[in-house]
Structure 1
Amino acid sequence: MYKSEQLALSLKHLIETGTWKLHEKLPSLRQQAETSGFSLITVMNAYQELEAQGLIYSKEKLGYFVADNPLQTALAKKVVLNEKIEINSLVFRYLKSIQSEKIVPLGSAFPNSQLLYSPKLMQTLAQQAKHRISYEQTPSLPPGNYELRKQIAQRYCMQGIPTDPSDIVITSGGLDALNLSLKAMTQMGDYILLQETIFYGAWQAAENLGLKVITIPEHPEHGLDLEAFKKAITSYPIKVCLLMLNSHNPIGFTVSEDIKFELAKLLHEHEIYLIEDDVYEELYYDQKKPLSMKYYDQQNLVLHCSSFSKTLGAGFRVGWVYAGKFSEHIQHLQLMSTISVNSFIQNALADYLTHRHYEKHLKNLRNTLKRLKNQYYQYLIKKLPEDCQVSYYPSGYFLWITLPQHIDSSRIYEKMILNDVGVAPSILFYRKNKKQNHIRINCSFEMNDEMINKIDLLIAQISER
């Protein structure tokens, strides 16, 4: 990026945040050069760039002024700077409130455990336990079990993504993969880009690392708003994006291949890295598995993160990151945090994947989730008030319910938890100053009489005016 472009971005930020008010006079070229340390030519080029964008205007012999640009007003509404994030305490309290065994887990992020824990995998674990020497002698330090990394690399290759086991680092679950990747790519105070509505772990990671978050809204049709994305990356010095594009949590959409292709071009053009959270990648309903952004990555700008915990159970909290050239850095960070992943579990997973049991398990899991999600959807759209909307997408096991604007989903959550039912209110997924009128529910449980009674209770709470 040229120096004039860097300066233009910095000055643009001052305009968008209101530091420079409408029609306020900007420092002269000479004053700006002295303040910034750039040359007069660089400052002049930066001012001309801002003028071309309609952000400032010039008056002969008077200098440059901040323009009243309607496009900027629209941008301010779509692209939001979140400098101070405080969500860890909220998430902690929420997770504590739903952990009791008596709570019906409609708010859980994990599928019903009865659908997971494949019998063949349990059998493999038992066999591994009998051969203690086989896993005790296996190196357990990063990047992880070679055979497991080899199996994961082969799965990438089957999707047309050339991958070597050395590209893969095994982690303690998907969230660990995200945290390590984000820590490797950023420093305190850096700008990152998130979707406006996203898994709370991304917000927690940003808070923990002291990052400034730029958010872009979801597109009502395509999932990802490319225009807002373009405006965000040209308005702020974005260091890295963290996006969920397949079976998005909590909404559920999968971004089309055309949008992913355009997104990859923008990342390449602006030299911005992407961390892709793809823990639900295997839970699609169609015949063809959706492509990850890694497929379109020609410049090694994408770190792809995934996990087995959503397909094999929370007890198998083993994830990975396709780290590529960042593999060494991530391994060093891992040694200072989680150190390594259980070698016994890694060995068992490697054996399980080698014998192709995983594919049969995934096929059965997808079919069951598809059936259950459709049942929940049909029941809810029939029973909920007409001014509620239920977003249905053919993947995963979440439904995203939009309530009337006057209903606070946090209040619904509080009432439901008193009745031993957990639901996930929208305050977990997007910033506080938005209308909190969404709920995420987990549809991976059989709709028996007890579950129907609990869902009816939720509907009754929503229907109260």
Structure 2
Amino acid sequence: MKRHAALAQTIADAIRRGDLAAGTRIPTVRAACRAYGVSPSTVFRAYYALESEGLIIARARSGYFVANLEDKRVRFGHEPPRKPAAAQTGGGDDVLSRLLDSLKCEDIVPLGSAFASYSLFPMSSLWRYVASAARNMDRTKLLSGLPPGHDALRRQIALRYLNAGTVLPLDEIVITTGALEALTLCLQALTRPGDIVAIERPAFHAVLQAVQRLHLKAVEIPVDPRTGLDLDALVEALDTHPVRACWFMTSFHNPTGATMTDERKRALIDLLASRGVPLIEDDVYGELHFGTTPTRPAKLYDDSGLVLHCGSFSKCLAPGFRIGWVAAGRYVRQIRQAKSASAPSADVPAQMAIANYLRDGAYDRFLRKLRRNLAAHQAQMLAAVRAYFPADTEVFAPLGGYFLWIELPPRVDAMHLFGEAMENGVSIAPGPIFSATGGFRRYVRLNYGRPWTPAVEHAMQTIGALVARQRHTH
């Protein structure tokens, strides 16, 4: 057993035996290093694992404490699925427009953005690959980008599935113009206007927009920031409603960061297979795990072809290139037809460039660097929350991805905080934009996918001060 896992197990056992009661402060990172003779990174990884299991919580400026498991069940446990309704963005359209507009403004620190900083990505190297692909492209292959996409790139993607533990026929993989197109094509192929789809609560706001645009009805399934999708609530939804499809993010969920365990992913697939309900799996952050053990998509447990697994290089390698894909299972014919009817071809030189980048082994080398950077930025943002936010702020720190999901103290309203933060040169993503039925007014999502600079540090200090002021004035 690795040292961080052994340390996490020791503390977890003490909590479960009752040796460490709810509310007990556990040793600081420095104290744990001295007590157990391990490095700070080992302690951080152990504490991340314990947070992921819901056994400890981080409190701003106070450290780590044993979680109240009873409170956890009340706040994040099973809740009955709501009556299906046409998806609404809850007044969030204006917020989303302001967030997108703020990305063009150099005076605003974009902590509410869904994108990582371009500076984290190997753009110079990628553009060289694109230039080489364009120079050497056989003019007779100009149509190679038509559905299902460039063969060389599809072969490289299939190889990554093989390395992850599953064999996919090349014909199953369809290249798309980014992951969002892949996900939307899946929804179009599986549903008709008025159909019911199961989505997460909270959910990536583009899910809500897609459901609304296609005139579908959504039933929301709760997501626990520590354990992921509530399977009991999903069973109840499937028993109650004629769900035509599910759209879930099982690894590094946006916005909560939750990752389901392999056992729970397998249980999810078994449940949906028993009902014949297809799963659209949004896995754009799956490569961004901080530990040495890769996360496994739910697709790996799919024996019936019901999982449409959607990925992208935009979050992990090439933002702006808009190259994604779907491993479509039994629905490959429908996806190809839907792709042909929309934007039939993704950028051919970009597809060739990414295929060659993967072929040369550069992608895996880059991913190791990107994961280290993101883990370091997350640790810095966590430290800033603890330093600048009120002590009763709770942070849910994932083991990968871009985002922190933060529960604000009582009397603090995330939508009001958004407006105040924007006025002070900082964007945040307020919780209500992540639900079709409202709620999450005490939650915000912050993006740590950018280098830690004095401007980012000051932005965190600003948000913390605004939270403290709102807490005491409302």
Select the residue among 74, 85, 88 that pairs with 1:86: 88
Q: How do 1:19-58 residues align onto structure 2 when only pairs under 5 Å count?
A: none
Residue 386 of structure 2 corresponds to residue 384 of structure 1: no
| 5+ long unaligned stretches in structure 2 | 1-76
Relative to structure 1, is the Cα distance of residues 425 and 170 closer, same or farther in structure 2, using a 3 angstrom cutoff?
A: same
Task: Indicate the SS of the match to 1:312.
Answer: coil
**Mean alpha-carbon deviation: is it higher for 323-332 or for 266-275?**
323-332
Map 1:50-449 onto structure 2 (within 5 A). 77-87=79-89, 89-90=93-94, 92-102=96-106, 103-133=108-138, 137-219=142-224, 221-449=226-454
> Any residues of structure 2 matched to 1:6-21 within 5 Å, and which?
none
SS of residue in 1 equivalent to 2:290: coil
What secondary structure does 1:139 align onto?
helix
Match of 1:232, SS state, is helix
In structure 1, C-alpha distance between the alignment counterparts of 2:137 and 2:96, rounded to whole Å: 37
- Matching residue of 1:32: none
Measured in 1, the distance between the counterparts of 2:192 and 2:218 equals: 13
SS in 1 for 2:288: coil
- Aligned with 1:241: secondary structure? strand
Matched to 1:373, the amino acid is: Q
In 2: Cα distance, 1:426 partner to 1:268 partner: 32
The whole-number CA distance in structure 1 between the counterparts of 2:221 and 2:142 is 48
Question: Measured at CA, do residues 120 and 314 of structure 1 come closer, stay the same or move farther in structure 2, by a change above 3 Å?
Answer: closer
Worse-matched range after superposition: 219-228 or 401-410: 219-228
Task: Name the structure 2 match of 1:24.
Answer: none
Q: 2:225, 2:258 within 8 Å by CA — same for their partners in 1?
A: no
**Partner residue, 2:18:** none
- Contact kept, 8 Å, 1:150 with 1:164, in 2: the verdict is no
- Structure of larger gyration radius: 1
Aligned residues: 391
| C-alpha displacement of 1:374 | 0.9
Any idea what the Cα deviations from partners look like across 1:68-101, whole Å, max 9, x if unmatched?
A: xxxxxxx995311241223284465234432323
What does the per-residue CA deviation read over 1:298-353, in whole Å, with 9 as the maximum and x for residues that have no partner?
Answer: 11110000100001232121100001332221122122222210111111111111
In structure 2, how many angstroms separate the alpha carbons of the residues matched to 1:295 and 1:239? 22
Name the TM-score, length of structure 2 as normaliser: 0.79
Residue of structure 1 in register with 2:21 after alignment: none
Q: Secondary structure at the match of 1:79?
A: coil
Query: Is the CA contact (8 Å cut-off) linking 1:135 and 1:347 kept in structure 2?
Result: no
Deviation per CA, 1:413-447: give whole Å up to 9, x if none: 11111222211111211134424111111112222
Regions of 4+ moved over 6 Å: none
Task: Indicate the SS of the match to 2:310.
Answer: strand
User: Which secondary structure state, in structure 2, belongs to the residue aligned with residue 81 of structure 1?
Assistant: coil
CA distance in 2: counterparts of 1:138 and 1:334, whole angstroms: 15
* Distance verdict in 2 for CA 1:215–1:306, change over 3 Å: same
Which piece of structure 1 moves more, 108-117 or 361-370?
108-117
Alpha-carbon distance between aligned partners in 2 of 1:118 and 1:91, rounded to the nearest angstrom? 30
Task: Give per-residue Cα distances to partners, 1:77-134, cap 9 Å, x unaligned.
Answer: 5311241223284465234432323221111111111001354323212322332546
Give the distance between the partners of 2:320 and 2:425, measured in 1 at CA. 24
CA distance 1:76–1:250, shift in 2 (3 Å): closer
Between the aligned partners of 2:189 and 2:345, the Cα distance in structure 1 is 17
Identity of aligned residues (%): 34
Partners of 1:263 and 1:329 lie apart in 2 by 24
Q: Structure 1 pair 135/149, CA: closer, same or farther in 2 (3 Å)?
A: farther
SS at match of 2:426: coil
**Kindly tell me: are residues 434 and 89 of structure 1, through their superposed partners in 2, closer, same or farther at Cα, counting changes over 3 Å?**
closer
Cα distance in 2 for residues equivalent to 1:433 and 1:169: 35
